[in-house]
A and B are shown apart, each in its own frame.
Chain A
Amino acid sequence: MTIKVYVPRDSSALSLGANKVAMAITVEAAKRGASIEVVRNGSRGMFWLETMVEVATPTGRVAYGPVMPEDVASLFECNFLYGGEHHLSRGLTEEIAFLKNQERLTFARVGITDPVSLQDYIDHDGYRGLKNALVMDGAAIVEQVTQSGLRGRGGAAFPTGIKWKTVLNTAADQKYIVCNADEGDSGTYSDRMIMEGDPFVLIEGMTIAGIAVGATQGYIYLRSEYPHALQVLNEAIAVATANNYLGNDVLGSGKSFHLEVRRGAGAYVCGEETSLLESLEGKRGIVRFKPPLPAIEGLYGKPTIINNVISLASVPIIMDKGGEFYRDYGMGRSRGTLPIQLAGNLKQCGLVEKAFGVTLRELLYDYGGGSASGKPIRAVQVGGPLGAFLPESQFDTPLDYEAFTNIWAVLGHGGIVAFDDTVDMAQMTRYAMEFCAIESCGKCTPCRIGSTRGVEVMDKIIEDRDRAANVALLRDLSDTMLNGSLCALGGMTPYPVLSALNHFPEDFGLKKTQQAA
Chain B
Amino acid sequence: MACQCGQGGCSTGYGTPAKVSEKLVTLEIDGMEVSVPEGTSLMRAAAEAGVQVPKLCATDSLEPFGSCRLCLVEIEGRRGYPASCTTLVDNGMKVRTQTDKLAEIRRGVMELYISDHPLDCLACSANGNCELQDMAGAVGLREVRYGYESENHLKSVKDESNPYFTYDPSKCIVCNRCVRACEETQGTFALTIDGRGFESRVSPGQMEDFMDSECVSCGACVQACPTSTLMEKTITLHGQPERSVVTTCAYCGVGCSFKAEMKGSQIVNMVPNKDGHANHGHSCVKGRFAWGYATHADRITKPMIREKITAPWKEVSWEEAVAYAAERLKGIQAKYGKDSVGGITSSRCTNEETYLVQKLVRAAFGNNNVDTCARVCHSPTGYGLKQTLGESAGTQTFDSVMQADVIMVIGANPTDGHPVFGSQMKRRLREGAKLIVVDPRAIDLVKSPHIKADCHLKLRPGTNVTVANALAHVIVTEGLVNEAFVAERCETAAYAAWKEFVARPENSPEALEATNGVSAVVVRNAARLYATGGNAAIYYGLGVTEHSQGSTMVLAIANLAMATGNIGREGVGVNPLRGQNNVQGSCDMGSFPHEFPGYRHVSDDAARNLFETAWGVKLDNEPGLRIPNMFEAAMDGSYKGLYVEGEDIAQSDPNTQHVTAALEAMECVVVQDLFLNETAKFAHVFFPGSSFLEKNGTFTNAERRISPVRKVMPALAGKEDWEITQMLSNALGYPMNYSHPSEIMDEIARLTPTFHSVSYAKIDEMGSVQWPCNEQAPEGTPIMHIEEFVRGKGKFFVTSYVPTDEKVTQKFPLILTTGRILSHYNVGAQTRRTANTAWHPEDVLEIHAHDAEERGIKDGDWVGIQSRAGETVLHARITERMQPGVVYTTFHHPFSGANVITTDNFDWATNCPEYKVTAVQVMKVTQPSEWQKRYRQFSEQQEELLKQREMVKAQ
User: Which segment of B19-27, B61-69, B498-506, B688-696 sits at the interface?
Assistant: B61-69
- Contact mask for chain A residues 236-271; partner B; CB cutoff 8 A; 1 contact, 0 none: 000000000000000000000000000000010100
From A12-20, A53-61, A357-365, A442-450, the one touching the partner chain is: A442-450
- Report yes or no: A442 in contact with B193, Cβ–Cβ below 8 A: yes
Which chain A residues numbered 429 to 471 have a C-beta less than 8 Å away from chain B? 437-453, 456-457, 469
Chain B residue numbers with a CB within 8 Å of A78 are none
Measured in the bound complex, the distance between the Cα atoms of B196 and A456 in whole Å is: 18
Closest chain A residue, CB of each to CB of B85: A289
- Find out whether the CB atom of A446 lies under 8 angstroms from the CB atom of B109: yes
Known A-B contacts A442-B195, A449-B198; A479 and B108 likewise in contact (beta carbons under 8 Å): yes
Interface residues of A in 394-444 (CB under 8 A from B): 437-444
Interface locus among A147-155, A369-377, A483-491: A483-491
Which chain B residues in 60-82 approach chain A with CB under 8 Å?
A: 64-69, 72, 80-81
**Contact assessment for B66 and A449 in the assembled complex, using a CB-CB cutoff below 8 Å:** no
Once the chains bind, are A480 and B108 in contact (CB under 8 Å)? Answer: yes
Whether the pair A484, B108 counts as a contact (CB closer than 8 A) is yes
Q: Closest Cβ of chain A: how far from B938's Cβ, in Å?
A: 56
Query: Does B198 lie within 8 Å of A451, measured CB to CB?
Result: yes
How far apart sit A480 and B81, CA to CA, in the bound complex (Å)? 11
Complex: chain B residue closest to A267, CB-CB:
B196
A456 touches B150 (CB 8 A): yes
Contacts of B193 in A (CB 8 A): 284, 286, 442
Answer whether residue A476 sits at the interface, using C-beta atoms and an 8 A cutoff.
Answer: yes
Q: How far is the CA of A228 from the CA of B928 in the complex (A)?
A: 66
| Chain A binder among B112-120, B551-559, B602-610, B878-886 | B112-120
Chain B: residues with Cβ within 8 Å of the partner, total of 38
Of the candidates B87, B104, B145, B199, which one forms a contact with A442 in the assembled complex, judged by CB atoms under 8 Å apart?
B199
Residue in A289, A439, A456, A476 with the greatest tally of chain B CB atoms within 10 Å = A289
Whether A446 lies near B146 (C-beta < 8 A) is no
CA distance A458 to B359 in the complex (A): 81
Closest residue on chain A to residue B117 by CB atoms: A449
- State A476–B115 Cα separation when bound (angstroms): 15
Q: Is the CB of A479 within 8 A of B197?
A: no
Question: What are the residues of chain A within 8 A of B715 when measuring CB–CB?
Answer: none
A440 to B195, CA, bound (A): 10
* Minimum C-beta distance from A466 to chain B (A): 10
Complex-state Cα separation, A74 to B755, whole angstroms = 105
Chain B CB within 8 A of A473 CB: yes
A479 to B105, CA, bound (A): 8
What's the least CB distance linking B139 to chain A, in Å? 12
> How does the 8 Å CB contact mask read for B194-220 relative to A, with 1 for contact and 0 for none?
011111100000000000000000000
Which of A269, A446, A448, A469 has the most chain B CB atoms closer than 10 A to its own CB? A448
Q: By the criterion CB–CB under 8 Å, are B115 and A453 in contact?
A: yes
Report Cα–Cα, A497/B105, bound state, in Å.
18
Q: Is the CB of A469 within 8 A of B145?
A: yes
Q: Is the CB of A486 within 8 A of B145?
A: no
> Are B150 and A453 closer than 8 Å at their CB atoms?
yes
Chain B residues within 8 Å of A269, by CB? 196
Smallest CB gap from A477: residue in B: B108
Q: Per a CB cutoff under 8 Å, which of B105, B145, B174 touches A484?
A: B105
- Verify B112–A284 contact, CB threshold 8 A: no
Contact between chains at A444 and B67 (CB < 8 Å): yes
Q: How far is the CB of B204 from chain A (nearest CB, A)?
A: 15
Please give the distance in Å from A320's CB to the nearest CB on chain B.
37
For the complex, give the distance between the alpha carbons of A291 and B66 in Å: 11
Question: Is B69 a contact partner of A445 (Cβ separation < 8 A)?
Answer: yes
Residue pair A449, B145 in contact (C-beta under 8 Å): no
Question: For residue A489, which residue of chain B has the nearest CB?
Answer: B197
A289 vs B196: C-alpha distance when bound (angstroms): 17
Given contacts A442-B196, A449-B198, contact A484 B72 (CB under 8 A): yes
Give min CB distance, B505 to chain A, whole Å.
39
Tell which of A267, A284, A445 touches B113, judged by Cβ atoms closer than 8 Å: A445
Q: Which residues of B contact A473 (CB under 8 A)?
A: 145-146
Pairwise interchain contact B112-A442, C-beta atoms closer than 8 A: no
Closest CB-CB distance, B668 to chain A, in whole Å?
A: 65
**How far apart are B826's CB and chain A's nearest CB, in angstroms?**
39
The answer for the CA separation of A283 and B24 in the assembled complex, in Å, is: 35
Interface digits, B116-151 against A, CB 8 Å rule (1 contact, 0 not)? 100000000000000000000000000001100011
Chain A residues near B757 (CB-CB < 8 A): none
Once the chains bind, are A448 and B200 in contact (CB under 8 Å)? yes
Do A450 and B112 have beta carbons less than 8 Å apart?
yes
Q: Is the CB of B109 within 8 A of A484?
A: yes
Taking a contact as CB atoms under 8 Å apart, the answer to whether B72 and A449 are in contact is no
The residue of chain A having its C-beta at the shortest distance from the C-beta of B64 within the complex is A289
Asked whether A483 lies within 8 Å of B198 as measured between CB atoms, the reply is no
B88 within 8 A of A: yes
Report Cα–Cα, A284/B174, bound state, in Å: 15
- Most A Cβ at <10 Å: residue of B65, B68, B72, B196: B196
CB-based contact A457/B67 at 8 Å: no
A289, B197: Cβ atoms closer than 8 Å: no
Find the A residue at minimum CB distance from B112. Answer: A449
Beta-carbon nearest neighbor of B173 in chain A: A445
Interface flags, A304-341, vs B, CB<8A=1, else 0: 00000000000000000000000000000000000000
Q: For A486, list chain B residues within 8 Å (CB).
A: 66-67, 69, 83
A445 & B200 in contact (Cβ 8 Å cutoff): no
Of chain A, the residue at the smallest CB distance from B150 is: A456
Are B69 and A485 in contact (CB-based, < 8 A)?
A: yes
Among B81, B88, B197, B199, max chain A CB count under 10 A is at B197
Looking at the assembled complex, report how far the CB atom of B75 sits from the nearest CB atom of chain A, in whole angstroms.
13
With the chains together, A401 CA to B146 CA distance in Å? Answer: 36
Contact A444 B69 (CB under 8 A): yes
Interchain CB contact (< 8 A) of B116 among A437, A449, A469, A483: A449
Residues of A within 8 A of B72 (CB): 483-484
> In the bound complex, how far is the Cα of B72 from the Cα of A356, in angstroms?
36
Find out whether the CB atom of B109 lies under 8 angstroms from the CB atom of A440: no
A441-B197 CB under 8 A given contacts A289-B66, A456-B151, A484-B69: yes
A445-B112 contact, Cβ under 8 Å, with A289-B64, A469-B145, A484-B81: yes
Closest chain A residue, CB of each to CB of B69? A484
CB neighbours (8 Å) of B150 from chain A are: 452-453, 456
Chain A nearest CB from B67 CB (Å) reads 5
- Cα A486 to Cα B101 in complex, Å, equals 17
Report Cα–Cα, A448/B199, bound state, in Å. Answer: 8
Contacts of B146 in A (CB 8 A): 453, 456-457, 473
- Given A291-B88, A451-B198; A443-B115 close (CB under 8 Å): no
In the complex, what's the smallest C-beta–C-beta distance from A70 to chain B, in angstroms? Answer: 46
- Closest-CB distance, B281 to chain A (whole angstroms): 24
> Which residues of the partner chain B approach A453 to less than 8 Å between Cβ atoms?
112, 115, 146, 150
The chain A residues found within 8 Å of chain B, CB to CB, are 267, 269, 284, 286, 289, 291, 437-453, 456-457, 469, 473, 476-477, 479-480, 483-486
13 A-B contacts, Cβ less than 8 Å apart?
A286-B193, A441-B196, A442-B196, A444-B66, A448-B174, A448-B197, A450-B112, A453-B112, A453-B146, A453-B150, A457-B146, A476-B108, A484-B109
Residues of B that sit less than 8 Å from A by CB: 64-69, 72, 80-81, 83, 86-88, 101, 104-105, 108-109, 111-113, 115-116, 145-146, 150-151, 173-174, 176, 192-193, 195-200
Closest 5 CB pairs of A and B: A480-B108, A442-B200, A440-B197, A289-B66, A449-B112
Given contacts A445-B69, A448-B197, A483-B101, 10 further A-B contacts (CB under 8 A): A269-B196, A452-B151, A452-B197, A457-B146, A477-B108, A479-B105, A480-B108, A483-B105, A484-B69, A486-B83
